[in-house]
């Protein structure tokens, strides 16, 4: 795992250099079929990940948001979001990160994950049974037993995957929990592992947005499931995710369920 950590840190540094080369108010943007933005940095970082993995671990597969390289019979797959928060990045805003996880293909669960913030220079990582870290300092979730005076990160109000998050927003407000929305999910959700947020709820299907969060959060003492409170795979699409400090997970699942439509 130390070898994977060194590799991922080196890769994150290269990704940072590419991101900062294009970052600013004049970043050129195109739009994908799902009505999300795409920049040259997204594409170049995704290509870099494929190149570096194939150089170092040619037997491993790669699943990137923009491009993938899946190999038949591979034991592991690197799941990467080159820039999570492209909306922010494309507008010259700093709320974006690079995320990568190594997932065991046999069960779809990550064994290693790393998230890097190119602006703040923070790097979060974890490996199975090894604890979670921010810049070398061990981190743990917020050990709180109620939602009062806490933060939770989620998306904008609307419907997705058969859920509306309006009941979630209403109930958490009543419980005196402040909900926050960032242009990229990972930017806010990593704060659960960091001990700053009580939870985060993701109403989209993509694995590349949640694979690294899964292992980092759980190694920090939290819990991550799909929107129904069940385990999911992180090498393919799934039913979103709920991230929590673990203590309040069942209650958060129940609240999310009230938004089924």
What percentage of the chain exceeds 70 in pLDDT?
99
**What predicted TM-score, i.e. pTM, was given to this entire model?**
0.96
Cβ partners under 8 Å of residue 52, min gap 6: 7, 11, 14
Give me the numbers of helices (H) and strands (E) for the chain, helices first please: 7, 17
Q: How far apart are CA 50 and CA 70, in angstroms?
A: 10
Q: How far apart are CA 8 and CA 239, in angstroms?
A: 27
CATH number of 2-139: 3.30.540.10
pLDDT at 186 exceeding the cut of 80: yes
pLDDT at 157 exceeding the cut of 80: no
Please state the rounded mean pLDDT for residues 65-83: 96
Residue 247 has a pLDDT of 98
Comma-separated ranges of CATH 3.30.540.10 domains in the chain: 2-139
Residue 115 has a pLDDT of 98
- Residue 101 carries which DSSP code? E
Q: What is the torsional sign of CA 72, 204, 22, 133?
A: negative
Cβ partners under 8 Å of residue 4, min gap 6: 102, 112, 127
Q: Which of the four CATH numbers 3.30.110.70, 3.30.460.10, 3.40.190.80, 3.30.70.270 does domain 150-257 have? A: 3.40.190.80
Tokens of 255: 């609240």
């Amino acid at each position: 795992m130390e070898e994977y950590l060194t590799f991922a840190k080196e890769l994150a540094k290269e990704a940072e250099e590419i991101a900062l080369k294009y970052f600013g108010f004049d970043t050129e943007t195109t739009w994908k079929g799902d009505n999300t933005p795409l920049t040259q940095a997204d594409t170049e970082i995704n290509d870099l990940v494929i190149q570096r993995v194939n150089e170092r671990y040619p037997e491993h597969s790669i699943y990137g948001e923009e491009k993938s390289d899946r190999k038949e019979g591979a034991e592991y797959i690197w799941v990467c979001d080159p820039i999570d928060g492209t909306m922010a990045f494309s507008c010259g805003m700093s709320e974006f990160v690079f995320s990568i996880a190594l997932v065991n293909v046999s069960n779809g669960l990550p064994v290693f994950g790393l998230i890097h913030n190119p602006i703040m220079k923070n790097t979060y990582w974890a490996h199975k049974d090894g604890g979670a870290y921010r810049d070398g300092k061990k981190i743990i979730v917020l050990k709180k037993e109620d939602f009062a005076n806490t933060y939770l990160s989620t998306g904008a109000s609307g419907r997705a995957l058969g859920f509306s998050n309006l009941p979630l927003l209403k109930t958490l407000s009543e419980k005196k929990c402040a909900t926050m929305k960032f242009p990229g999910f990972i930017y806010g959700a990593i704060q659960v592992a960091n001990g700053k947020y009580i939870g985060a709820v993701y109403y989209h299907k993509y694995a590349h947005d949640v694979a690294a969060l899964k292992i980092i959060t759980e190694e920090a003492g939290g819990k991550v499931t799909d929107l129904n409170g069940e385990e999911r795979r992180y090498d393919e699409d799934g039913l979103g995710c709920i991230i929590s400090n673990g203590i309040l997970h069942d209650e958060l699942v129940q609240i999310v369920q009230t938004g089924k439509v």
